[in-house]
Amino acid sequence: MPDLDRSVWTQTVGIDARGRVSLPPPVRQRLAWTNAAGIYLARLHGNGAVEVVTWAGNGERIRTALRERYDALPKHQRADFALAAMDRFQKFRGEKGGRLTLPAIVRSQIDPKGLQFVRIVVRDGSFHLWNDEAWKAGRVKRIALLEREGIL
């Protein structure tokens, strides 16, 4: 029922051999910034989800905050902090027309078995890439919402 809420979209798409994902038109219509070439920031969540945001307005702010915290840490904690930041944040490029080339760490998060599929989720103005199996695991809970409302 894609017309139920025009701000929401989900679809499974393929990942090509070079790690590229082409965003389908409904995603690009809901998130106009994905149509233009640009730099993006991936926030890896550890639960099979990766949030994608524009670098502009997000990347430099996060980079500055990380640098300030890093500099304030004792030297013996800095390496772990730097590794955590690398596990959490990845900068990458998007091409005009909604094609993304995903860094290897992002691909390993959303496609750990190399099945070459990713679930795209647009919701409340946000854009997430999900491991399709992790997304499917939550399907029962989402469907239960319908059943509680008497929709079979």
- pLDDT one-digit tens code per residue, 81-132: 999 999 999 999 999 989 999 999 999 999 999 999 999 999 999 999 999 9
How do the domains of the chain map onto residue ranges? 9-148
Put the strands of the sheet holding 117-123 in their side by side order.
Answer: 9-14, 117-123, 126-130, 49-54, 38-44, 89-95, 99-101, 20-22
Name residue 33's amino acid: W
Split at pLDDT 50, 70, 90, the class of 6 is confident
Segment 15-38, tens digit of pLDDT: 999 999 999 999 999 999 998 889
| Strand (E) or helix (H) holding 86 | helix 75-88
Q: Is 149 exposed, middle or buried (0-12, 13-18, 19+ CB in 10 A)?
A: exposed
pLDDT digits (tens, 9 = 90+) for 37-53: 899 999 999 889 999 99
Residue 68, CB-side half-sphere exposure with 13 Å CA sphere: 6
Assigned CATH topology for domain 9-148: Chemotaxis protein chec (3.40.1550)
CA–CA separation, 36 vs 27, rounded Å?
13
The answer to whether residues 129 and 106 touch, using CB atoms and an 8 Å cutoff, is yes
